[in-house]
Amino acid sequence: MGMRYHNKAIELSDVLRVEEAEELLTLVQKYPAAKLDLQACTHIHAACLQVLMAARPSVKAWPKETRLARWLQTALN
């Protein structure tokens, strides 16, 4: 899994595992105005999804995989 802050966005890629929920929380707290780039993300564990639902970041790019994108759009909008 990849997670980084780059160009005023939090970029998430590959699989977000439960172990990464705390790191994700730290990023969204440290950069509250950052947009979320999920384009390269393929799966999000429920713990990470809960972090995103609580933080309510703006989404810059949705995942390429259509089913995941629709699921996340429903959860985060």
For residues 60 and 33, the answer to whether their CB atoms sit within 8 Å is no
* Global pTM value: 0.90
Residue labelled with tokens 């759009």: 73
pLDDT value of position 2: 85
What is the C-alpha separation between 3 and 13, in angstroms, rounded?
Answer: 7
Query: What are the structural domains, with CATH classification, of the chain?
Result: 2-76 (3.30.750.24)
pLDDT value of position 52: 96
Q: What pLDDT digit, counting tens, does each position of 29-46 carry?
A: 999 999 999 999 999 999
